[in-house]
Amino acid sequence: MQERYGVRMAASRPVTITIVAVATAVALAWLGWAAWSQATPDVRAAVHSFDVVSSHEVEVVVDVHRENEGSVRCDLSAQADDHSVVGEDELVVPAGDERDLQVTATLRTSRQATIATVDNCR
């Protein structure tokens, strides 16, 4: 068999194990970094309250927390009682020193809304 397949190098197994261990460590480090960066966003927002002003308008008060002084953009939406989206808009908070603030926005709707949500802040 040795004549046909050759002699296996004695050091190849430890080298292979070392390469696999290093690649695994790098992959786990990247996974940890990705999980941490997604779990701690620079911007957080939540609906503080909303008021259905009319069958075509909702006033939304949003609590915004930002880690830096840059501007913030959040997607607002309103849904009807059948869970269909009846209004969408983008909330823009200009850059400033305040880290925690409340912003009021008026959202136009195609029919009466029963809930307002804030999504995808960046």
pLDDT of residue 41: 75
* 48 and 31, same domain (yes or no): no
* 34 and 49, same domain (yes or no): no
CATH number for the domain spanning 108: value is: 2.60.40
Where do runs of H (alpha helix) occur along the chain?
A: 2-5, 12-39
pLDDT of residue 40: 75
- Counted domains in the chain: 2
pLDDT tens series, the chain, 122 aa: 667 776 666 667 888 889 999 999 999 999 999 998 878 778 999 999 999 999 999 999 999 999 888 899 999 999 999 999 999 999 999 999 999 999 999 999 999 999 999 998 98
pLDDT of residue 93: 94
| Bridge partners, residue 112, by sequence | none
pLDDT of residue 10: 61
* 87 and 107, same domain (yes or no): yes
* 54 and 97, same domain (yes or no): yes
- At position 25, the amino acid (one-letter code) is A
* 52 and 8, same domain (yes or no): no
**Residue 57 CA, distance from chain mean position:** 27
On whether the CB atoms of residues 106 and 59 are closer than 8 A, the answer is yes
Q: Is the pTM of this model over 0.75?
A: no
CA atoms within 13 A on the CB side of 47: 19
Token pair 């909330």 in the structure block, residue: 91
Domain containing residue 98: 43-119
* 81 and 111, same domain (yes or no): yes
